[in-house]
Chains A and B, each alone.
Chain A
Amino acid sequence: MTLLSVQGLSKSFGGVAAARDVSFLLERGELLAIIGPNGAGKSTVFNMVGGQLRPDHGAVLLDGQNITAASPQKRFRLGVGRTFQVAQTFLSMSVVENVQMALVSCNGESSALWAPARTRHREEALALLEQVGMADVADRPCSALAYGDVKRVELAIALAGQPKLLLMDEPTAGMAARERADLMDLTARIADAKSIGVLFTEHDMDVVFGHAERVIVLVRGRIIAAGSPEEIRQNEEVRRAYLGDEHALEKPKGLSPA
């Protein structure tokens, strides 16, 4: 069954239509990128899938189940993990405690009043940190990490819920070029190994064309093109939308493996 099915999503803010009749499908293990110029409606679509916004029309189905009106909490339980444009972690906790917190919530223990949190699910949390390459800083305060590392911790937190679907809003924003490719390689590996579907928005075309298996192009709230990176790169309409920034659509050079 299709993992994520987005059907005719529309959303207006006042008189501005931020999303118009947006539909797409996402399969397990697939990396799907949403791109578009600033103000195209990427974040709006994203937040409707993530549960932060309620669409005016349309539906979001996860494994066939309608989750259009479900809260972010409910979506988490149904297997939706997400990372944020500006990484959101619990800065007052240590790295491993961040992941433990997610595991505690996952196991429905977040109202437990007795046994200390720091002893719960520690091994499992360390294993998750191992996967993202952060196990050696597990006991450092999260606030002491470099931003690229915080992004990795955030990925580990999102994976703690054993998601079927991973939503990543501009996963590489604010990172150095080398780190970007590394993080996306890591994401692709994990998605493949656990057959997680990944939906991400991105401004960096190297990342998009280097890692996405399919690309959706959003302009003024409407999907104007969808297809493989190669098809998108050739698409005339897309080229027009990115007019003046043609280099953005050129083949990536050097860093990221295509």
Chain B
Amino acid sequence: MLTAQSITKTFGGNRAVDEVSFTIKEGTITGLIGPNGAGKTTLFNCLAGLFPPTSGSLSLEGERIDGLSPDRIFARGLARTFQIPRPFPEMTVLENVMVAPLHQRGERFWANWLTPGRVAAEERTLAAAARHWIDFVGLSHLADQPARVLSGGQRKLLELARVLVAKPRLILLDEPGAGVNPVLLDAIVDRIVSLNRQGVTFLVIEHNMDLVMNLCSPIMVMAQGRLLMAGTAQEVRDDPRVVEAYLGGAPA
């Protein structure tokens, strides 16, 4: 579904992502783990178009997406959430979610004057869809509250609802479990599994090993900008290079 070939991203002399190649198969929940500073989030940012890779190519279902801006990549069906959630704090939860759907008629300046009836009809449909996804992530009771009142975990759920309403086919989740209390975490995992059954593919960065081992297959391991290995949970656990990367610091 998503193929990366020799993705490299340098900041000055620092190779944050170094010749990383992989393929994400449709229908999987692929994990991405690695010690802090391994380049996981930088890789995410390259995939989502926040900045272009220095070299290498990316293709989503056969079409090149490297170098495209984030809005265009999102329009192709690749959505991402942020490590530190980025809600629109002064807007209500409902409005946060209603921002996301693509190609809204009412986003065009003139449509609001020329075809107000159709804009209104579309808004009602969108609102229903938004409420459905807010309900799906369990935030219905907060739908009309400004997003700034949400807790860290709730913000992660809001981000999830916000991308879901646009019906992406591949979702990049950056640490969905970080700073989330165990009850909410179960809810998040449950939602991911249920979405995956409905055909959504995931790539998940996560530090919570239990979560990764249970949820993800295959699992890719990064260290110092490079892709160390990819395999099943068992293979990752048994690989001495992974232990070395986490415990041994720099490989000799």
The reply to whether chain A is a binding partner of chain B is: no
**Footprint of B on A, CB under 8 Å?**
none
